[in-house]
């Protein structure tokens, strides 16, 4: 062990033994956006031995405001985020093993990705993927540290299989699930604060310390903070962590389906999560970002970039102007989350 970690080893709750545990740990980071890049850098500097970063997207100019591992050159080259993040992390700490996977996390690949991991860091941009990762983490008894932020507001909660409620237990208790950075924006300080809580929880777990089932909620702009104990929300009938688990989000029928409509240059998306969209609120969020917005009791239609997108109250959407499911899914997640 070099003196690279000397200040961390001097911290009694970690010490030499804890540092050795960190060096033998393997962490999967799902998503390489704002939270993912910040977590990756903190964990790399802390000496976590193996870090795997998985993300489906590439670096864009709008990422540079808050996604701290990326440079203008990455955006010019449109490098995949997972690749660009790995390149920077290797410059930060050449002693650890870092791998990157350019992929869309889903129920078909998550169990292979999670195999052998010490814990999973949540840094995804939509709630359906979180539920997929939650199912896999609970199924394979791997801690999963939920984190999310939008505007100036953030949340974090540790899912410890067999001890705490899982994300499925909490799905009806978490606010702001339909807000995204593309609709209401985000400031970088809330990213750093949520990451600090997530990584602190990770360090505790990886070095053998207990954590509590506490949801941390922060609005850094309004200077508001709340901590809520959620241990009583663990549901024995939960299909993910209950007494008879079925892990529903690992099954194909509960994942978002994309269908290219023949001859129409249109992709239809049907989400695996039951949604009840407020079409009026969605139109308000998009008022200064989209054009030609139309709302009626049944649907909301708008023009965004080069695409016409139609949303229905149940969460279904039609993306006109593309026959590429990946393009349609990316647009959908940017707006709906």
Residue 34 main-chain phi, psi, to 5 deg: -65, -55
Residue 31 structure tokens? 């998503």
- CA 238 → CA 97, 132, 165, 242, 245, distances in Å? 36, 14, 9, 4, 7
* Complete edge-to-edge strand list for the sheet that includes strand 257-261: 257-261, 266-270, 317-320, 307-312, 299-304, 291-295
Choose, from 166, 181, 238, 241, the residue flagged as catalytic.
181
What DSSP designation does 104 have? -
Residue 269 structure tokens? 């998306």
Known active-site residue 181: yes
Report the C-alpha gap between 53 and 123 in whole angstroms.
Answer: 10
Report the C-alpha gap between 22 and 49 in whole angstroms.
Answer: 6
Report the C-alpha gap between 150 and 29 in whole angstroms.
Answer: 19
- CA 263 → CA 260, 267, 322, 323, distances in Å? 9, 11, 11, 9
Report the C-alpha gap between 60 and 80 in whole angstroms.
Answer: 10
Q: Point out the residues that are catalytic.
A: 181
């Amino acid at each position: 062990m070099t003196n690279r970690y000397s200040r961390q080893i001097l911290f009694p709750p970690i010490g030499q033994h804890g540092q050795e545990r960190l060096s033998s740990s393997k962490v999967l980071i799902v998503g390489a956006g704002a939270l993912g890049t910040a977590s990756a850098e903190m964990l790399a500097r802390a000496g976590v031995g193996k870090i795997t970063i998985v993300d489906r997207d590439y670096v864009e100019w709008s990422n540079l405001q808050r996604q701290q591992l990326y440079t203008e050159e990455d955006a010019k080259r449109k490098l995949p985020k997972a690749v660009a993040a790995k390149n920077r992390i290797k410059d930060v700490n050449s002693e650890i093993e870092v791998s990157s996977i350019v992929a869309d996390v889903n129920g078909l690949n998550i169990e292979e990705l999670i195999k052998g991991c010490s814990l999973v860091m949540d840094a995804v941009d939509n709630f359906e993927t979180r539920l997929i990762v939650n199912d896999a983490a609970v199924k394979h008894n791997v801690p999963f540290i939920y984190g999310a932020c939008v505007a100036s507001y953030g949340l974090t909660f540790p899912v410890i299989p067999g001890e705490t409620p899982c994300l499925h237990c909490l799905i009806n208790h978490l606010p702001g699930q339909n807000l995204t950075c593309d609709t209401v924006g985000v400031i970088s300080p809330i990213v750093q604060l949520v990451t600090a809580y997530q990584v602190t929880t990770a360090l505790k777990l990886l070095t053998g310390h207990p954590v509590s089932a506490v949801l941390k909620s922060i609005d850094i702009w309004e200077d508001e903070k709340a901590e809520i104990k959620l241990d009583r929300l663990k549901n024995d009938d939960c299909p993910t962590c209950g007494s008879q688990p079925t892990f529903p989000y690992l099954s194909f029928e509960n994942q978002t389906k994309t269908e290219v409509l023949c001859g129409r240059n249109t992709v239809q998306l049907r989400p695996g999560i039951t949604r009840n969209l407020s079409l009026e609120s969605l139109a308000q969020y998009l008022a200064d970002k989209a054009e030609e917005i139309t709302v009626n009791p049944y649907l909301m239609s708008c023009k965004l970039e080069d695409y016409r997108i139609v949303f229905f109250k149940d969460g279904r959407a039609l993306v006109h102007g593309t026959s590429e499911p990946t393009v349609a899914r990316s647009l959908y997640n940017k707006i709906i989350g």
